Structure 1
Amino acid sequence: MSERDALPGYIIPERNVNQTCDRTIPFVCVCVAECIYSVDRREDFVSCSRIDYDFASVLILRDRFVFQLTAMKEAVATMSGRDAGEVRVVVAPYRICPLGAHIDHQGGAVSAMTINKGILLGFVPSGGTQVQLRSAQFEGEVCFSVDEIQHPIGEANKNGASKEKSIWGTYARGALYALQISKKNLKQGIVGCISGSDGLDSSGLSSSAAVGVAYLLALENANELTVSPTENIEYDRLIENGYLGLRNGILDQSAILLSSYGCLTYMDCKTMDHRLIQSPDLKKPFRILLAFSGLRQALTTNPGYNLRVAECREAAKVLLAASGNEELEEPTLCNVDHAIYEAHKHELKPVLAKRAEHYFSENMRVTKGVEAWASGNLEEFGKLISASGLSSIENYECGAEPLIQLYEILLKAPGVYGARFSGAGFRGCCLAFVDAEKAEAAASYVKDEYEKAQPEFAKKLNGGKPVLICEAGDAARVL
């Protein structure tokens, strides 16, 4: 019996993953906002080192998928007056970065994977230039036309242009801005509804990048544009750097667009080269813990992130000048050879020295982490993750007291291989890799200990779910 016979109701086409992780079996993607899974064929559920669900669990996931997908399609059908069968759905998963913290904006090497939580965007082509959007999480309706010329937020506000009444709609306008800047001819808008995993916005999981990617894929699909993942990485960078004025790198969108289930995504942010790293010899299945701090603050309102990017560039400028290299217009640490860093790091001011130390040590941890993952050594992989977390605290100097305490609690939790901050580290959550058999015990331990350490912040947590147990996910796609 095929998985389609066993799981009636799926409408998602099979995909051959032979070109990604060298796995030849087809799989079906089970995708809902709270649960985005990649499920292999029935006989592999017991033997696959990455998936240890029984078949009954998969049937439960099927039911949740059918319910949420149906609800999404009906919502868009009501908005648009179209048949629910015409509704298309974008799945854009959230991402984690086990190693490579805060070095993507300096052209460093990073590692990433997606998780089984993320964004759903149901849509239909509008039949004209109008874009009409609603959100399952936020009030209001966003409406604009694809032939409206979009300008960066800072420039538009400076010129007295009207501000978007629904702030959640800025990413939709940003997607249009990116496509316009890239000379894409859009004649078709969309009518759509977007929904994310409840409570996971502003948590350090790149929900904003997932939203941007979702809007890009929907607009491109509605206009029958053929766009590569690499191109969309650049377009999403334009949303965040060009339209919103953030100074982050390309890690988030790269993970969301390039990841493949069961693999670690490695990316050189200087060359844009990437590869998918298998781990065929994992001795035990693992889970990903997300432990929430209760700190929720938008990246653009915190000067810490952009300040540290500037400090990294200043460190690069000093090192390049000291070595006699020609000064670059925007110097970054990836242009500094490690030998030059070692020879001239004593010339850096203390703060800049810390930023440079984090960059070069984190690059090394990524290299070692890829080796550990490829060999199935989760213990070593976890140690490197924890070392990354410590460097983020001591050298990059991010993380408020609640996050640091959460990181320290995770390190003591049963079965945890390693932990670190997720996202920028100024708010949100920490992530940990944990032995699957001990995941529930670890989650319970973290919940109890964090409530003791930070009772006020613990009260604010994620709708009563202070710790989530997640699986690895797949890349963003249109169903």
Structure 2
Amino acid sequence: MSRAPGQFTVVAPGRVNLIGEHTDYNDGFVLPQAIERGLRIAVCRRPGSRALLASDRGGPPLDIDLGAPLLAGRTDWGRYVAGVVAGFQRLGWTIPGFEARITADLPSGGGLSSSAALEVGIATVVETLAGQALDPVAKALLCQHAEHEFAGVPCGIMDQFAVTLARRDHALFIDCRSREVAHVPLGTEVAVLVIDSGVKHALGDGGYAARRRDCETAARLLGRKALRDVSSIEWPSLEHRLREQEGRRARHVITENDRVLAFKAAAEAGDWPAAGRLMRASHASLRDDFEVSCRELDLICDAVGRLDGVFGCRMTGGGFGGCAVALVDGPRASSIEALARTACAAALGHAPEVFLTTGVPGARVE
């Protein structure tokens, strides 16, 4: 489809994390997948050096001076946009004026990386307007820094890497220390089902940062750079050095890293029952040791996990609400989706949003 000069649309996907929660900022392993739902940013160049943005999610429109240095301090959704623009300003990029309209079919606060989709989407807008491109890893890191500095969320690299580097019909294995990635094919034997608990989370509220502090303290007390450096074999001989809460946080991270590696191997071998068992163990660990699940997510995982054709179900994202993700039998995916909707409605007392998704590419210009 042709477009007028200076007009284009950026598509930025959300993501689910199949396994590997709260391991990224511990230099560990994760295995997310970009999903069909996300953001669309319709852009039109305009004279001058101002950016005018509006969103169908409400909130006041943004008016950002692209020629003036941007500083942290905003409390509205514009903090994500300003953080990304500031990153390009520091690189010395000149950003032309533009107008943008953002539409989304991604649950906000659902743990599906709506913030990373916005950040990477805006970075793709800037690249397109400027007629140049960052290295994809540098682009993801710029967006991660924007979330740290302008949104106050000390996130790891998983979300921005997934939204930037994903490939169609694949999950993305990330070594968060080396930043090496591998694309893991997900065949037609399985499908991914997402269930929104309806409980909105806000990672900037403090729970996420508190978990990160617990992990950093545990690593320091164990004399390691990060919990990545503690193996599950040596963990039993080290656990006594930590206070009870820090010990549970560390145990989750250490065992979760093992589960990610085992899941990757199971996926590559097509052993989906084994992958599902690892997902169930991951949810139990997040619920009991890391304490980032909630009643609604636990009910969903229990109800969906009992259905025939479901290999495994777990919470996905930072926690404190958001979504669950299930790995289901591909040929029966549509019927399982309907059964899951009914089962979750019975468990929760209301019908949650449930949808199937395939793996899609990272942020791109349409």
Verify same fold: TM over 0.5: yes
Shift of 1:319: 0.6
Query: How far apart, in 2, do the equivalents of 1:300 and 1:438 lie?
Result: 38
Shift of 1:138: 1.6
1:125 has 2:12 as partner: no
Alpha carbons of structure 1 residues 148 and 124: separation in structure 2 relative to 1, 3 Å: same
Q: Which has the higher contact order (CA 8 A, sep 6+)?
A: 2
Please give the root-mean-square deviation of Cα atoms over the aligned residues, in Å. 2.0
Partner of 1:59: none
The AA in structure 2 aligned to 1:428 is G
Partner of 1:101: 21
1:310 has 2:213 as partner: yes
- Of 60, 83, 102, which residue of structure 2 is paired with 1:194? 102
Q: Deviations over 1:176-200 (max 9, x none)?
A: 122234x2322413211111115x1
**What secondary structure does 2:140 align onto?**
helix
- Equivalent positions of 1:255-266 (< 5 A) are 255-266=162-173
Query: How far apart, in 2, do the equivalents of 1:239 and 1:429 lie?
Result: 24
Query: How far apart, in 2, do the equivalents of 1:247 and 1:300 lie?
Result: 9
1:143 has 2:83 as partner: no
Alpha carbons of structure 1 residues 100 and 132: separation in structure 2 relative to 1, 3 Å: same
Query: How far apart, in 1, do the equivalents of 2:86 and 2:231 lie?
Result: 36
Query: How far apart, in 1, do the equivalents of 2:48 and 2:232 lie?
Result: 54
- Of 306, 310, 327, which residue of structure 2 is paired with 1:433? 327
The AA in structure 2 aligned to 1:300 is G
Question: Where do 5+ consecutive residues of structure 2 fail to align?
Answer: none
Identity %: 25
**What secondary structure does 1:203 align onto?**
coil
Query: How far apart, in 1, do the equivalents of 2:201 and 2:262 lie?
Result: 33
The AA in structure 1 aligned to 2:172 is T
Q: Deviations over 1:406-429 (max 9, x none)?
A: 111111123111111011121111
Partner of 2:204: 300
- Of 345, 354, 358, which residue of structure 2 is paired with 1:467? 354
Q: TM-score, normalised by structure 1?
A: 0.72
Q: Which moved more, 1:342-351 or 1:303-312?
A: 342-351
Q: TM-score, normalised by structure 2?
A: 0.94
- Equivalent positions of 1:67-86 (< 5 A) are 84=4, 86=6
Shift of 1:139: 4.3
Q: Which moved more, 1:103-112 or 1:446-455?
A: 446-455
Query: How far apart, in 2, do the equivalents of 1:101 and 1:369 lie?
Result: 13
The AA in structure 1 aligned to 2:214 is E
**What secondary structure does 1:91 align onto?**
strand
CA contact (8 A) 1:260 1:474 kept: yes
The AA in structure 2 aligned to 1:170 is R
Shift of 1:127: 3.2
CA contact (8 A) 1:217 1:477 kept: yes
Query: How far apart, in 2, do the equivalents of 1:413 and 1:186 lie?
Result: 54
- Equivalent positions of 1:6-405 (< 5 A) are 84=4, 86-153=6-73, 163=74, 167-181=76-90, 183-197=91-105, 200-278=107-185, 282=187, 284-301=188-205, 303-320=206-223, 331-336=225-230, 341-405=235-299
CA contact (8 A) 1:285 1:435 kept: yes
Query: How far apart, in 1, do the equivalents of 2:48 and 2:95 lie?
Result: 7
CA contact (8 A) 1:190 1:219 kept: no
Alpha carbons of structure 1 residues 291 and 337: separation in structure 2 relative to 1, 3 Å: closer
Corresponding pairs, count = 366
Shift of 1:393: 0.9
Shift of 1:339: 5.6
Query: How far apart, in 2, do the equivalents of 1:398 and 1:291 lie?
Result: 17
Shift of 1:168: 2.5
The AA in structure 2 aligned to 1:189 is G
Q: Deviations over 1:378-425 (max 9, x none)?
A: 222222112111111111111111111111111112311111101112
Question: Where do 5+ consecutive residues of structure 1 fail to align?
Answer: 1-9, 12-82, 154-162, 326-330
Q: Deviations over 1:142-169 (max 9, x none)?
A: 111112212222xxxxxxxxx56xx222
Query: How far apart, in 2, do the equivalents of 1:296 and 1:92 lie?
Result: 21
Alpha carbons of structure 1 residues 215 and 434: separation in structure 2 relative to 1, 3 Å: same
Alpha carbons of structure 1 residues 451 and 343: separation in structure 2 relative to 1, 3 Å: same
Query: How far apart, in 2, do the equivalents of 1:429 and 1:278 lie?
Result: 23
Shift of 1:316: 0.4
Partner of 1:476: 363
Partner of 1:409: 303
Partner of 1:22: none
Shift of 1:228: 1.2
CA contact (8 A) 2:95 2:126 kept: no
CA contact (8 A) 2:304 2:344 kept: no
Q: Deviations over 1:349-388 (max 9, x none)?
A: 1111111111111111111111111112222222211211
CA contact (8 A) 1:189 1:219 kept: no
Structure in which a larger fraction of residues adopt strand: 2
